[in-house]
């Protein structure tokens, strides 16, 4: 579980509910099923019209996925450098055969890394490996951020549907105004709840989820760029120390890998 995400989400809920409790004891006035249905249902319906169903499903899955710890973290980048350097030493001692033997299990574990290793084993030059992996990185990134764009689209639409719910509530209120003018205040309050729901749904759920998912995909893309550089240098038969320095140049100095420390 992603503890910071869970804390942030529930803290926002606590602050919102706490502000309501401080302002009024009549909490029930903030519950309006019609407005809630129009905001959630309308936003989802518009999204299904605008995007293919499979991408919408992926976007809905992101709302759940952000509460779990990501597969790729900053500290893991050091391990990626160490792994490529180890392969450099293997190739120095046993050539391509040693590399192929050591990486057989990668196909089921890491498709990107498996593809890159296959390029090296196939005998492509460093420039060719770099170009092919860059193509894979960018096309994969563009595919994977489509669900985040859908969430942003939903976030931009939710306040609009909230306003529609408010307008519907106001029309109903005005229609009943002639029979009982004393209900004007209560009717106005209920009508405004649609706008409130739309803003809350957009700013507390959809936009934070989209931003976190996009950030995670950016981290994966960066990791793949670092690995791609290492594999390209591996194909060029560069020394492990050169591979280390080249890959470390992408990273923050605090997480640089150091061959000399490992040897001690």
24 and 51: one domain?
A: no
Query: Which has the higher per-residue pLDDT, 153 or 67?
Result: 153
CA angle 259, 262, 264 (to 5 degrees): 115
Q: How many domains does the chain have?
A: 2
72 and 115: one domain?
A: yes
Model pLDDT for residues 199-251, shown as the tens digit of each residue: 999 999 999 999 999 999 999 999 999 999 999 999 999 999 999 999 999 99
Mean pLDDT of 250-262: 85
Model pLDDT for residues 78-120, shown as the tens digit of each residue: 999 999 999 999 998 888 888 888 888 787 788 999 999 999 9
95 and 19: one domain?
A: no
Q: Could you give the CA distance from residue 11 to residue 3 in angstroms, rounded to a whole number?
A: 12
95 and 13: one domain?
A: no
Q: Could you give the CA distance from residue 185 to residue 183 in angstroms, rounded to a whole number?
A: 6
CA 50 to chain CA mean position, Å: 20
157 and 264: one domain?
A: yes
Mean pLDDT of 16-39: 83
150 and 130: one domain?
A: yes
141 and 92: one domain?
A: yes
Look at the alpha carbons of 109, 111, 117, 121 in this order and tell me if their dihedral is positive or negative: positive
Model pLDDT for residues 122-155, shown as the tens digit of each residue: 999 999 999 999 999 999 999 999 999 999 999 9
181 and 251: one domain?
A: yes
Determine the structural domain holding residue 16 and report its residue range: 1-31
Please give the radius of gyration of the chain, using alpha carbons only, rounded to the nearest integer.
Answer: 27
138 and 225: one domain?
A: yes
Q: What are phi and psi of 249, to 5 degrees?
A: -65, -20
3 and 110: one domain?
A: no
Give the list of residues 6+ apart from residue 260 with CB closer than 8 angstroms, or none. Answer: none
180 and 250: one domain?
A: yes
Q: Which two tokens stand for residue 77?
A: 């980048």
Q: Which two tokens stand for residue 91?
A: 């190739």
17 and 90: one domain?
A: no
Write down the pTM of the prediction.
Answer: 0.85
């Amino acid at each position: 579980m992603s503890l910071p995400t869970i804390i942030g989400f529930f803290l926002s809920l606590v602050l919102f509910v706490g502000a309501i409790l401080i302002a009024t004891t009549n909490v029930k006035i903030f519950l309006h099923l019609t407005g809630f249905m129009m905001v959630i249902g309308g936003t989802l319906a518009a999204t299904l019209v605008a995007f293919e169903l499979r991408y919408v499903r992926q976007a809905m899955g992101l709302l759940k996925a952000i509460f779990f710890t990501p597969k790729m973290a900053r500290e893991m980048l050091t391990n990626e450098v160490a792994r490529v350097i180890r392969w450099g030493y293997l190739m120095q001692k046993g050539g391509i055969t040693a590399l192929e033997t050591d990486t057989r299990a990668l196909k089921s574990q890491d498709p990107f890394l498996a593809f890159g290793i296959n390029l090296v084993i196939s005998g492509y030059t460093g420039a060719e490996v770099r170009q092919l992996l860059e193509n894979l990185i960018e096309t994969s990134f563009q595919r994977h951020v489509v669900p985040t764009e859908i969430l942003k689209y939903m976030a931009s639409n939710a306040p609009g549907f909230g306003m529609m719910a408010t307008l519907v509530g106001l029309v109903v209120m005005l229609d009943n105004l002639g029979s009982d003018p004393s209900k004007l205040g209560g009717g106005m309050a209920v009508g405004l709840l649609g706008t409130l729901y739309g803003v809350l749904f957009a700013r507390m759920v959809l936009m934070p989820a989209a931003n976190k998912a996009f950030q995670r995909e950016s981290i994966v893309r960066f990791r793949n760029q670092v690995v791609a550089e290492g594999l390209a240098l591996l194909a060029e038969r560069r020394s492990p120390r050169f591979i280390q320095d080249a890959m470390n140049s992408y990273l923050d100095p605090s997480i640089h890998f150091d061959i000399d420390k490992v040897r001690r």
